[in-house]
Amino acid sequence: MVKFSSEKVEEIRERADIERVVGRSVQLTRRGQNLWGLCPFHGEKTPSFSVSPQKRLFYCFGCHLGGDVFDFLMRLEGMEFPEAVRTLAEETGVELPEDERRGSEDAKAHEARTRLYEANELACRFFEHELTRDPRAQAYLQETRGLAPETIRAFRLGWAPPEWDRLVAVFEKRKVPMAVALELGLLGKSKEGRLYDRLRGRIIFPILVQRGQVAGFGARRADWIDHEGAKYLNSIESPVYEKSGILYGFAAARDEIRRRRGAILVEGYLDVMSLWQVGLQNAVAVCGTALSERHAGMLSRLTKKVFSIFDGDAAGRAATAHAARLLLSEGVDVQVVELPEGEDPDSFTRKEGADSTQKLIDAAPSAVDFFLAKARTENGGGGVAGTVRALEAVKPMILAIADPLARDVAIAAAGRALGIDERVLRRHLRGEPAGIQRRDAHQSGPGPWTATSAAEGRPGGEPSKSAPAATPAASAVPPPSVVELALIRALIDQPETTVAALNRYEATDAFTHPTLKATIRAGLDAIESGKKFDAPLALEVAKEEGGANAATLAAIQKALMDTAPETDDVAECVKRLLTQQHKILLKKLKDRAAKETDPEVQMQLALEVKAIMASRSSWEEKN
């Protein structure tokens, strides 16, 4: 995994002008020390999105998203952390050492990846050129599939002629190593050792990644050519092409997904292009595989709403349920668009046009509502057995919902739809952990509409910056107290005053919230070693210590944007912190004493209570 030194990350963060980076996408207006604008992550008419150049942070008081310049770029561009670091390093002129610039790749491996991209680009240009020379291939795309010339150019569609060695000759002429072409699956090798064009006689769909690089190809067999082979053929997995981490059309749709604040998820290349050319340019598709956790993460960093338009057969519905569970676990609102029987997004859009397609999208129910209705229909619409089967069918999806409020709404809706008392339903679900449920290898068969895949951490061994599903353990952590948040802010703005007050009252260990306790300790350690403790560092520590609790992070992000206590108030904040700690300790001791029957233990607890009261009197007397 890619790792960056904390010193380099901090240098990039300091040099990156968050006002400039955010200002490329958001029109900002100065009000006081902060800048304000319309949030790019949710729809709003009144600006609630704030940027603090001084603190190098952003925060939306509407949707509660916030963070530093890396967080902004990751969420806006759908980047992962290493890519955001490299992008800002290039912009700011920070030189990353070779081992950090490439992570676990050395210079030789990086050069190998570059050669793979260059070979794919050469092949793509060859396929594009060959398309202009073949009338039948052009007629298929324009007349049979209804694609406009500008759509064909935008997606760089091509044609692989049916001859066995046309691309082989191109690679030989350009001195491309045949090992590279074989690694990419552009060429194959016969038993006799002869090289041949693997994708020959097919319509070519290049798969582009964020910077327009060609990562791979999808290829459809031409109906007018008589040859054996699968109808669809794709690039093989390579260092530049991993199906689980690439969405077709993502590079072209990214800006439109942000603008529309929603993505359309479909199954096929032609679905994406048909929607694109009628103006619905926020569509993406999986590349011959099921939606993965990486795909869900890519989408969730750009938007919190996805419209799923898969085929209406059993396989399409299972794929929809699988995708919905992964997206719901990433905090994404999923709505399911149901097309008329026998239609797919490509055929329906070509027949009915953009307006009819948009109407179906606008009327799409939530994934839970959609599958509840389907489950009731398929299980006879009623009866105890049918209701139980319907509930078991949708239970994994309900439990996948990351947002606690959204999960509560879904539970209430399921109770109403199935005629089950909400309390009974909650009792049935109680004890089931929220989020994607992994099944052990020894368990037999998948449950209804289940999904299994491995959890993926943030690159570099760091936790994901998108909030994962809440767990019972995470939700049991109380929210951060106002006084603890205020002292974090005070330590940033008034380090000497705050350190002195904490030491005077011996309160450095008085923080009760685990995330804030770790954050204040990191701040004190940094100051003691002569380093600067600032808002971005505080946020980074909080993410590492408490990233599983989205509510905690939101509270910390908001507090870091607030004004710190006045100098005279810091000591009072410390006293309130100690009062808070003593109240918690006293309550725990009294609760234990109330349950204890052993006289000796009761006496010991009474002495502990007396000691706490005495310590409180001692610091209350200090001025």
pLDDT digits (tens, 9 = 90+) for 215-237: 999 999 998 988 777 889 999 99
Total tally of structural domains belonging to the chain: 5
How far is Cα 575 from Cα 564, in angstroms, rounded to an integer? Answer: 16
What's 45's domain CATH number?
Answer: 3.90.580.10
The verdict on residue 450 lying in a domain is no
Q: Please report the pLDDT score of residue 434 as a whole number.
A: 47
Percent of the chain predicted with pLDDT > 90: 37
Residue 452 — very low, low, confident or very high, per pLDDT cuts 50/70/90?
A: very low
Amino acid residing at 388: V
Residue 622 — very low, low, confident or very high, per pLDDT cuts 50/70/90?
A: low
Give the CA distances from residue 317 to residues 87, 285, 450, 619, in Å, rounded to whole numbers and listed in that order: 39, 15, 12, 65
Choose one of 203, 219, 241: the last residue of a domain. 241
Q: Are residues 506 and 373 in the same domain?
A: no
What's 516's domain CATH number?
Answer: 1.10.860.10
CB-based contact 39:62 (threshold 8 Å)? yes
Mean pLDDT of the chain: 83
Cβ-in-10-Å burial (0-12, 13-18, 19+) of 330 comes to buried
Q: Please report the pLDDT score of residue 521 as a whole number.
A: 87
Q: Please report the pLDDT score of residue 380 as a whole number.
A: 62
Q: Please report the pLDDT score of residue 466 as a whole number.
A: 38
What's 178's domain CATH number?
Answer: 3.90.980.10
The verdict on residue 445 lying in a domain is no
CB-based contact 276:435 (threshold 8 Å)? no
Q: Are residues 273 and 381 in the same domain?
A: no
Choose one of 364, 389, 413: the last residue of a domain. 364
Q: Are residues 486 and 570 in the same domain?
A: yes
Q: Give the domain extent around 24.
A: 6-101
Cβ-in-10-Å burial (0-12, 13-18, 19+) of 431 comes to exposed
Q: Please report the pLDDT score of residue 469 as a whole number.
A: 37
Q: Are residues 398 and 527 in the same domain?
A: no
Q: Please report the pLDDT score of residue 354 as a whole number.
A: 94
Q: Are residues 269 and 378 in the same domain?
A: no
The verdict on residue 460 lying in a domain is no
Question: Of 14-28, 73-87, 182-196, 472-486, where does the model show the most confidence?
Answer: 182-196
Residue 614 — very low, low, confident or very high, per pLDDT cuts 50/70/90?
A: low
Residue 615 — very low, low, confident or very high, per pLDDT cuts 50/70/90?
A: low
The verdict on residue 276 lying in a domain is yes
Q: Please report the pLDDT score of residue 382 as a whole number.
A: 62
The residue written with tokens 């139980």 in the block is 388
Choose one of 101, 132, 166: the last residue of a domain. 101
The verdict on residue 537 lying in a domain is yes
pLDDT digits (tens, 9 = 90+) for 559-580: 888 765 665 688 888 888 888 8
The verdict on residue 311 lying in a domain is yes
Structure tokens at 99: 């081992």
pLDDT digits (tens, 9 = 90+) for 423-436: 888 888 875 544 44
What's 277's domain CATH number?
Answer: 3.40.1360.10
The verdict on residue 446 lying in a domain is no
Mean pLDDT of 296-303: 85
Q: Are residues 234 and 254 in the same domain?
A: no
The verdict on residue 379 lying in a domain is yes
Q: Are residues 164 and 262 in the same domain?
A: no
Question: Of 180-184, 388-392, 403-407, 449-453, where does the model show the most confidence?
Answer: 180-184
Q: Are residues 333 and 210 in the same domain?
A: no
Question: Of 51-60, 90-99, 139-148, where does the model show the most confidence?
Answer: 139-148
Q: Are residues 128 and 50 in the same domain?
A: no
List the single range of 185-199, 265-279, 310-324, 606-620 with lowest mean pLDDT: 606-620
- Give the Cα-Cα-Cα angle 182, 183, 188 (nearest 5 degrees): 25
The helix or strand, by DSSP H or E, that contains position 217, with its residue range, turns out to be strand 214-221
Q: Please report the pLDDT score of residue 623 as a whole number.
A: 54
Q: Are residues 424 and 518 in the same domain?
A: no
How far is Cα 156 from Cα 120, in angstroms, rounded to an integer? Answer: 12
Question: Of 4-18, 71-85, 261-275, where does the model show the most confidence?
Answer: 261-275
- Backbone phi and psi for residue 416, each to the nearest 5 degrees, phi listed first: -65, -45
Task: Give me the numbers of helices (H) and strands (E) for the chain, helices first please.
Answer: 27, 16
pLDDT digits (tens, 9 = 90+) for 502-530: 887 777 788 888 888 888 888 888 888 88
Residue 557 — very low, low, confident or very high, per pLDDT cuts 50/70/90?
A: confident
Q: Are residues 507 and 382 in the same domain?
A: no
Residue 456 — very low, low, confident or very high, per pLDDT cuts 50/70/90?
A: very low
How far is Cα 610 from Cα 568, in angstroms, rounded to an integer? Answer: 31
Mean pLDDT of 444-455: 32
Q: Residue 608 pLDDT > 90, yes or no?
A: no
Q: Are residues 319 and 334 in the same domain?
A: yes
Structure tokens at 620: 């209350």
Q: Please report the pLDDT score of residue 571 as a whole number.
A: 84
Q: Please report the pLDDT score of residue 51 as a whole number.
A: 94
